[in-house]
């Protein structure tokens, strides 16, 4: 790492980040707080999770040193009633409407299509498609009234069809339902951007170039070759780049490292104080796509 400037580019902004009890969502929330935003963090795990480390309380504790307002909203995004109360609760706690919405929460249940239960399919689409759309619809009126707003949806390379035939042996398409839900989210991103074009609302999707080995990802897929991993900070840098992007950047589905290369943007630590010199975006090895 090398010393870098501390920025306050999100000072005066209010943000909502879902799936913020751990992993990418927690890291994005910390980074936004470090750069001056007031942030409402959303997840089911308010105090603890039965199998994974992390909770909203833990994330809030990581954000507290930066001095901004932090609001915790415990909610189950598969429950439509819970979804409807998230934005009002966040606005009440933050003292005003959200300028930024980061839809990070996701359900990932991997198994072959041949025996994939309907209930699991419904749960995946409820959390990965319906909930983000509900939240986008909920923040949109205030963003339109303000004449600006930033919506960032987190997606996955699994949204793209796998090449073949021949199909790669030893890798059954167990991520098909998850990928289909992310493909739907990508399409909604593009459609909403089109619908509100010219009114100051930026709606974009970002996906990692390679695996980001968060607590949840590690539990799901186990060990991944080093060359197929990208750092948590790299993914966060790309996500926050879309949280204050210009109005002409909208309706896009971008890849983390490609976006950072286009912007010639260094990767900062989560506290925004140091430049991560060992990261791929700063001249290190570039991970392979997965």
- Catalytic positions are 178
Report residue 70 as tokens.
């932090």
- Cα–Cα distance measured from residue 54 to residue 49, given in angstroms and rounded to the nearest whole number: 7
- DSSP state letters, the chain: -EE-----TTTT-EEEEESTTSHHHHHHHHHHHHTT-EEEEEES-SS--SSSS--HHHHHHHHGGG-S-EEEEE--TTSHHHHHHHHHHHHHHHTS--SEEEE---------GGG--HHHHHHHHIIIIIHHHHHHHHHHHHHHHHT-EEEEEE--GGGSPPP-SSPPTT---TTHHHHHHHHHHHHHHHHHHHHTTTTTEEEEEEE-SSB---HHHHHHH----GGGB--HHHHHHHHHHTTS--TTS-S-EEEHHHHHHHHT-PPBPTTSSEE-TTSGGGTSPPPPP-
- Cα–Cα distance measured from residue 268 to residue 281, given in angstroms and rounded to the nearest whole number: 10
């Amino acid at each position: 790492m090398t010393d870098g400037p501390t920025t306050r580019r999100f000072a005066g902004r209010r943000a909502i980040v879902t799936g913020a009890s751990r992993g990418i969502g927690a890291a994005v929330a910390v980074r936004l707080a470090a750069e001056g935003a007031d942030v409402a963090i959303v997840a089911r795990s308010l105090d603890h999770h039965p199998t994974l480390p992390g909770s909203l309380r833990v994330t809030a504790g990581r954000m507290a040193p930066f001095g901004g307002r932090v609001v915790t909203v415990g909610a189950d995004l598969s429950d439509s009633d819970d979804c409807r109360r998230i934005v009002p609760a966040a606005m009440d706690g933050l003292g005003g409407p959200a300028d930024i919405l980061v839809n990070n929460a996701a359900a990932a249940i991997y198994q072959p299509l041949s025996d994939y239960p309907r209930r699991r399919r419904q749960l995946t689409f409820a959390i990965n498609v319906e909930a983000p759309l509900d939240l986008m619809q909920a923040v949109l009126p205030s963003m339109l009234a303000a004449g600006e707003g930033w919506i960032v949806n987190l997606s996955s390379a699994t949204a793209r069809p796998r090449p073949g035939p021949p199909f790669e042996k030893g890798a059954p398409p167990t991520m098909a339902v998850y990928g289909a839900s992310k493909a739907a989210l990508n399409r909604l991103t593009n459609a909403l951007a089109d619908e509100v074009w010219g009114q100051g609302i930026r709606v974009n999707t970002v996906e990692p170039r390679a695996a980001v080995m968060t607590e949840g990802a590690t539990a799901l897929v186990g060990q991944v070759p080093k060359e197929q991993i990208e750092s948590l900070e790299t993914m966060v840098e790309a996500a926050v780049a879309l949280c204050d992007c210009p109005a002409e950047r909208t309706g896009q589905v971008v890849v983390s490292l490609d976006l950072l290369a286009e912007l010639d943007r260094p990767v900062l630590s989560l506290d925004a104080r140091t430049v991560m010199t060992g990261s791929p975006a700063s001249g290190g090895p570039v991970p392979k796509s997965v």
